[in-house]
Structures are given as structure tokens and as C-alpha cells.
Structure 1
């Protein structure tokens, strides 16, 4: 099922823009809401990579733009922390009315603090994960810096965040000052996961310690060592998403799995961004990707690597089947494979026979007390594995539109 652009009204009648990303591997799935960083938007790298990682764990994710940010309606200067919390609740209402009530909220930075406040009020939410979140929302004043005095004197000031200008009004500062996270956390009855980098220079690691010590169990802490506050490194954000997806399964009841149906043996889905590709092979979920120098995220093996893997696996299985039938002492089979052409070269002119794959190098290492004759025979058998035969023969293709 493809990702969907969605929109919904917030408490003030403003239309908020979101993207609902649904896993291909299974359904029904638990639903999660992702709340982005202060002055950010739903399409930041961290938001996209975390959502993709959660999708691979079978979790549907709604990430959206807070009022006045990204593609959402409204004037950012008239928003505050309380309206952020209300926007999360509006997103939850949208899911409840159109899909299913969310059971997970993930929040990044100030979005993490808002996730705590919103999650505390929502019965359907069973687990909350914060990433680089401040203990008190008032911490965001540090980003405003010297403009605080101007805001207090003139009622508003323009601040710059990541080379973008935003107007902050006095009501925003006053709203932050009225919030006390300790009052929220001490009675927090949800499972809580706190992810934070010791190297975070925007929201110091001490904030994570304060949240952890204030919260009741079940609570968990995972360090994002080496990551920056924005999780700009895709490996950091993808790791955070996979950790959340694995952790939350203990606290969110998984419904009976219903596979997406296909009349074929394998189903593959790739949307219009990057090359991270979801694969449903039988009842097993896989991921394919391309290397970063080809524009991919390198979250999984490339198509050629998967083809290598299929041949290698089939070769190893065939050799072990033969040896077991013969009762030969074959202990381990190691198969090393490589192509002599690159995918980018082939794809440049796929119709040209000279550009197609011409050679696969297969090196087999056999471990066990085998005779020379047995080893020679096993090498012959390797070329008789079904996948090898399929690749070696002329295969007819029937490619058509559904």
C-alpha cells in the first residue's frame, strides 16, 4: 500500500499537512505519530528515515507539519507549545476517525516534549519515544537567546533557525514558562523510551537523565553515541527508528497478521523517493537498496547483491543436500560471489546485449574431512543447483502492466 498525503483540521480550524506511510509487509498494523523538531517539518531527513525504519518493523507512521510550518496552514507566530500538543491530538483524531487510534507517539526535540504531554492525555497511546527531547519545554528559550529581552519589551522578535527566520511572540515564551514536565512525567502511565546523544549540543544529555529519573517504569534509555541533535546522519536516524520499532513490540499488542496478497511469489514496492525498496517474499520481509554513490541509502543489499545471494544460497543448499544424501562429512559450505559489471553501467543501455551481465565469479570453500574425489564431485554439483541452471539458460520474460 503506497504512502499517502493526508490533511486534517486542528483545533483552530487550520488545515494541517501530513504524510501517512504504511508498511507493505503486513496489516493491520499499529499506528504511530511522529512529531518533528522546533521550526522543522515532516520532510526532514531524520523524520523520513525514522518513519521508513518503523515501516520495516510493520508500523504505520503519520508525520505531519505543525501549524504554520511546512505545508500546513496557519501563522507560526501565533502558535506555541500548547498548540503543538493540540496538533498531535488532532493528528490522533484523524487516525481514529479514518484508520485506527494511534498507540505510539515519537517526538524529536521539542516534538519529544510535546509527545509526552499529548501521550499523557491519550488513552489509546501505549508507548512514547523521545529523541533529543528537553526535560522542560522552556529549554527552547536557549535557541531564542538574546531575543528574549526584545520579545518581552516589544511583544515579538524575529529569530533565525537554520538560516530561516521566524517570528516569536511573547505568548510563546509565556506558554513555555507555564509548563512543568515533572508534573506530567510523575504520573505518566505509558511505556517510555528516551533516545539521546551524549554529543548533543542543542539539548544536553542531562535532559535525558532528568526525564528518565522523573519517569516511572517501564522506561528505557538508549544512547545515540556520535549523533548530532538533528540526526542528520542517515545511519543515526535509521538506527533510532529500528530501535524504537523493536522496543515498542513489548508494549503494543500486535494484531493477527494479515499478509498483503499477490498472485505471484514476490511483491516489491518502491516509491518516488530514493531506492530503499520493500520486498515481500512469501511470508518474509526484506529490504533492497543502492549504495550512496548511486543515490541510495545503503539500507539493504543491491539488486545484484540479492541475485548473488540467491545463487550463493542455492549453491550451498544443493551441496549440503547432496553431501547429506551421500553421508559425506561436509561440515560447512562458504560461497563467495561477485559480478564483473556494475549496475549503473548495465542500466545505462539495458537493451544493448554488450551491456548485460556476462560473468559471475563463484568461489566455494568446503570445510570437512572430504577426499579429493568428493571435493571434485561437489564442485560439479555446484553448477547443477536450480538457480545456477536458471541463470545459465535462456529465460523468457512476460512483463505487463496490472
Structure 2
């Protein structure tokens, strides 16, 4: 982590981008001198300072690829209220970011999301069709799954009685408490990743990376994505958990190599 921070020290620039609600989204631009860039999206309860986000930015920079890691609404330094659901709100946040860089004549060559961020980038690709390379790092295929493990049994009855359930979450290198309300829970339960993935353009390349030892989101979810996405490549990181605690080097290497491969194919075309 210290080495990654040292590598990033020379080319960082804080960028603030307003979303459509007027909240300021705060991010860090890692400028390699290349106008094209990659956008990095953190997971639930995490931030742009998550180890995965920082290490990916470092690895991309070493490869000469610019990147932007930012905080979704209500996370990290960004304004607004945090929410357990808000998948489509985060899609809107990501769209505000992509439009900002398009307006600055910087092409967005890929969007990368981890965990909930992976679902957000896939949903973005289902709604918008302006990004042709999407990285699904440990995303969840069936959003209703995992809720009982997170909230406990009879969660809906408890929420309706108490108004919310308080959760303590450890995501990457960040620990936080947050409340899950019935509204935010319904937001998650209303989304079918299967149906949304079918709306992704066939020419959009989707790369799925998942740890074989992920106990938060099972590796079987990665194989489900592989079944329905036509322009798809899958890489399983053997022994990796949900945050790739002991497998950061393999994760970053795989992502960087996939992007280089994609750029090379674009040049050939």
C-alpha cells in the first residue's frame, strides 16, 4: 500500500464533479499524459481510497494508462447521503463523471467496478451505450441473494417494525456503520441483473474477474454472467477472497493486461 501511494504521488489531481442532484463528487485523476482514461468504481461502503482502487490506479499508471477513482454520493469525500441501495443513483453519478471527461475531450476507454461498483458499471452499460469495455470485479448476479447473510433472518419483518436495520460493514480497508431501510432494500430487490445484462450492446466487451474463495459473493455468480453476456471473458483468481487480500498483484495484472489487449484490438481495427 505504501509503495502504491508513493507511485501515485507525482501525478495526482483532485477533481470535483457535480452530479445531477448538485452534489459534489470528489475524485482523484491519475494523469499518465494519455488523454484516454479508465474510471474506477468502489463497492458498498467503500471509497476511492479502497486498496483495490488505489492499487489499480497505480498499476494502470505504470502501464501509461490514465485513470480516475472517485467517491459515489454519500461515500468518502463526496456530498449527499449514503444509501444501501441507490444502484441507479450511482449509475447517474458514473454518467456525470463520464460526461465530464467527454466534455474535457478525454475519452473513457473502460469502466471498472468492484463488488457493488461492478453491478453499477454493468447497469451503466445496460442504460448507456457509450463505453465499450466494462470490468466486473466480483459483482453479484442475483441481487436478492446475500441479504439474509448481511441483515439476519426475518430482516423484512424487523425493518418494518423498527424502520431500519443497522449494519457494521468492513469493505476493503474501511469499516463503517450504516442503516438499511425498507426503501433502500426494495431498490436492490427491484433490479434483475439478468434482464439488465441482456440490454448491454453485443459489441461491448465485458471482463469478469472473481476470486475462487470469495465468501461474500460466490464465484458461481461469475459463471452466471458468463452464460448470458455474448462478448465476455472470465478470469478466476484461485484462492482469492472478495477483496483480493493476498492477490492484489494478480488482480491488477489481469486488469491491466485486459485493457492493453483491448487497446491493441482497437488499434488493429
TM-score by length of 1: 0.58
The answer on whether the counterparts of 1:30 and 1:252 sit within 8 Å (CA) in structure 2 is no
**Is residue 208 of structure 1 aligned with residue 216 of structure 2?**
no
**Is residue 42 of structure 1 aligned with residue 48 of structure 2?**
yes
User: 1:249 corresponds to which residue?
Assistant: 260
User: 2:242 corresponds to which residue?
Assistant: 229
**Is residue 8 of structure 1 aligned with residue 8 of structure 2?**
no
User: 1:19 corresponds to which residue?
Assistant: 28
> Residues 89-238 of structure 1: matches in 2 within 5 Å?
89-139=95-145, 141=147, 142-146=149-153, 147-162=155-170, 163-189=175-201, 190-217=204-231, 219-233=232-246, 236-238=247-249
Residues 105 and 140 (structure 1), Cα distance of their counterparts in 2 relative to 1, 3 Å cut: farther
Taking the aligned partners of 1:137 and 1:64, their CA distance within structure 2 comes to 23
The answer on whether the counterparts of 2:197 and 2:229 sit within 8 Å (CA) in structure 1 is yes
Residues 80 and 140 (structure 1), Cα distance of their counterparts in 2 relative to 1, 3 Å cut: farther
Taking the aligned partners of 1:29 and 1:37, their CA distance within structure 2 comes to 26
Give CA-to-partner distance per residue, 1:166-212, whole Å, 9 cap, x none.
Answer: 02222111111111111122232210111001100000001101111
Taking the aligned partners of 1:81 and 1:71, their CA distance within structure 2 comes to 19
C-alpha RMSD over aligned residues: 2.2
User: 1:51 corresponds to which residue?
Assistant: 57
The answer on whether the counterparts of 1:109 and 1:134 sit within 8 Å (CA) in structure 2 is yes
* Shift, 1:123, TM fit: 3.2
The count of aligned residue pairs is: 250
Taking the aligned partners of 1:202 and 1:7, their CA distance within structure 2 comes to 32
- SS of equivalent to 1:106: strand
* Shift, 1:225, TM fit: 1.2
Gaps (5+ residues) in structure 1?
257-402
**Is residue 84 of structure 1 aligned with residue 97 of structure 2?**
no
Taking the aligned partners of 1:13 and 1:124, their CA distance within structure 2 comes to 23
Taking the aligned partners of 1:194 and 1:137, their CA distance within structure 2 comes to 17
* Shift, 1:238, TM fit: 3.2
The answer on whether the counterparts of 2:34 and 2:66 sit within 8 Å (CA) in structure 1 is no
The answer on whether the counterparts of 2:40 and 2:113 sit within 8 Å (CA) in structure 1 is yes
Give CA-to-partner distance per residue, 1:359-381, whole Å, 9 cap, x none.
Answer: xxxxxxxxxxxxxxxxxxxxxxx
Higher CA-based Rg: 1
The answer on whether the counterparts of 1:200 and 1:227 sit within 8 Å (CA) in structure 2 is yes
TM-score by length of 2: 0.85
* Shift, 1:89, TM fit: 1.1
Taking the aligned partners of 1:240 and 1:188, their CA distance within structure 2 comes to 24
Higher relative contact order (CA 8 A, sep 6+): 2
The answer on whether the counterparts of 2:35 and 2:106 sit within 8 Å (CA) in structure 1 is no
Residues 28 and 251 (structure 1), Cα distance of their counterparts in 2 relative to 1, 3 Å cut: same
Gaps (5+ residues) in structure 2?
1-9
Give CA-to-partner distance per residue, 1:203-238, whole Å, 9 cap, x none.
Answer: 000110111111112x111111122111233xx223
**Is residue 67 of structure 1 aligned with residue 76 of structure 2?**
no
Residues 204 and 5 (structure 1), Cα distance of their counterparts in 2 relative to 1, 3 Å cut: same
